[in-house]
Amino acid sequence: MTKDQVEAGQKEQNSVSVRSEEMHAPEGMLGMVWRRFRLHPGAVAGSIVLGMLVLSIILVTFSPYDPEISDIGSRLQPPSWEHPFGTDPLGRDVLTRVLYGGRISLAVGLMVVAITLVIGVPVGAVAGYFGGWVDNVLMRITDAALSLPSLLVLILLSAILREVELPFVERNNVVTIAVVIGLLSWMTVARLVRAAFLAIRELDFITAAHCVGVSNSRIMVRHILPNVVGPIIVESTLEVGYAIMEESGLSFLGFGIQPPTPSWGNLLSNAQEHMTKHPWLAIFPGLMIFLSIISINYIGDGVRDAFDPYKVLKQVGEV
């Protein structure tokens, strides 16, 4: 076999392998993200832990104990088979209360993300897409909101809401707390979306869309927004963790969810009094906060790597 023949054979092999790759349907973005996500050990472990947590939070409905009704006969019992996390000063099962508290925390986390997206995405999109004075006004408002000392304002708002009668909802329930936290945390998303819109609106495919007469709102929603989904998902994932931390902090200070409704924060706050002799009261609720936030952070890290949000910006030359 001559050298030329060998080379020709290799060429042929190469072209065959290229062709066979082309034969496959192109992998969608979500497929790619999922494939990369699975390779991130932290993210997988985080998903498993969070999944178990969510499952037990759902299944706690079948717990033999009530989270709010006291049982004086079994006060302050240490962890045992009947009460894996022990009982509290009113004889309530701590495991049941912790899991019901988890419902509150996760609900607040998800609601805060929803509020963050509902405010942050439109503000960022409009500011970045239209620019000019609209951008200026919206960004000054964003800057002002970012300049608020957020923990202090959070405490102030929930202290006020604790004393106000609201229509339809109880005082300081999940919704009011989530709204308060959400109103103070949409700015990151707004800035992120604005930066991406600012960069992408200059690209040729947007000009092309303009030329064929696509409306502004359609360009924003159908042509630009899909390119920003990655960073938004990453930010939203991490935001769930921040929101859980903030809610439990507020409840710990007594400004959040009010007892007897259990939340991880107020369980910890109530534990302080009895903690030296009955440490299980303080250990388990905090452990739950810790576990849920660390798994959310690992998931967020995995999603970030999988999406590589900078890729979008790199492609448009922003970074």
Task: Choose between 46 and 128: whose C-beta lies nearer to another protein.
Answer: 46
Q: Supply the minimum distance, in Å, between the C-beta of residue 298 and another protein.
A: 7
Task: Choose between 123 and 220: whose C-beta lies nearer to another protein.
Answer: 123
Segment interacting with another protein, rule: CB under 8 A, options 24-32, 212-220, 226-234, 282-290: 282-290
> By rule CB under 8 A, what string of x and - marks binding of each residue 122-141 to another protein?
------------------x-
Question: Under rule CB under 8 A, which residues in 139-178 are in contact with another protein?
Answer: 140, 143-144, 146-153, 155-157, 159-160, 163-165
| Binder among 113, 289, 303, 312 for another protein (CB under 8 A) | 289
Total of chain residues touching another protein, rule CB under 8 A: 44
What's the angle, vertex CA 236, arms to CA 234 and CA 237, rounded to 5?
65
| Binder among 37, 65, 252, 307 for another protein (CB under 8 A) | 252
Segment interacting with another protein, rule: CB under 8 A, options 17-25, 184-192, 199-207, 290-298: 290-298
Question: Under rule CB under 8 A, which residues in 34-63 are in contact with another protein?
Answer: 42
> Is there binding between residue 23 and another protein (CB under 8 A)?
no
Task: Choose between 74 and 101: whose C-beta lies nearer to another protein.
Answer: 101
* DSSP state string for the chain: --HHHHHHHHHHHHHHHHHHHHHSPPPPHHHHHHHHHHT-HHHHHHHHHHHHHHHHHHHGGG-SS-SSS--GGGTTPPS-SS-TT-B-TT--BHHHHHHHHHHHHHHHHHHHHHHHHHHHHHHHHHHHHH-HHHHHHHHHHHHHHHTS-HHHHHHHHHHHHTT---SSS-TT-HHHHHHHHHHTS-HHHHHHHHHHHHHHTTSHHHHHHHHTT--HHHIIIIIIHHHHHHHHHHHHHHHHHHHHHHHHHHHHHTSSSPTTS--HHHHHHHHGGGTTT-THHHHHHHHHHHHHHHHHHHHHHHHHHHH-THHHHHHTT--
Q: How many residues does the chain have?
A: 319
| Binder among 125, 126, 271, 303 for another protein (CB under 8 A) | 271
Q: Supply the minimum distance, in Å, between the C-beta of residue 148 and another protein.
A: 6
Is the separation of the CB atoms in 83 and 77 below 8 Å? yes
318 burial (CB, 10 Å; 0-12 / 13-18 / 19+) is: middle
Cα–Cα distance for residue pair 264/252, rounded to 1 Å: 8
Q: Supply the minimum distance, in Å, between the C-beta of residue 279 and another protein.
A: 6
Question: Under rule CB under 8 A, which residues in 209-248 are in contact with another protein?
Answer: 241, 245, 248
Task: Choose between 25 and 152: whose C-beta lies nearer to another protein.
Answer: 152
Q: Supply the minimum distance, in Å, between the C-beta of residue 29 and another protein.
A: 25
| Binder among 192, 228, 293, 306 for another protein (CB under 8 A) | 293
Q: Supply the minimum distance, in Å, between the C-beta of residue 3 and another protein.
A: 38
Is the separation of the CB atoms in 244 and 106 below 8 Å? yes
| Binder among 220, 255, 261, 312 for another protein (CB under 8 A) | 255
**Interface ranges with another protein (CB under 8 A):** 42, 140, 143-144, 146-153, 155-157, 159-160, 163-165, 241, 245, 248-249, 252-255, 268, 271-272, 275-276, 279, 282-283, 285-286, 289-290, 293-294, 297-298
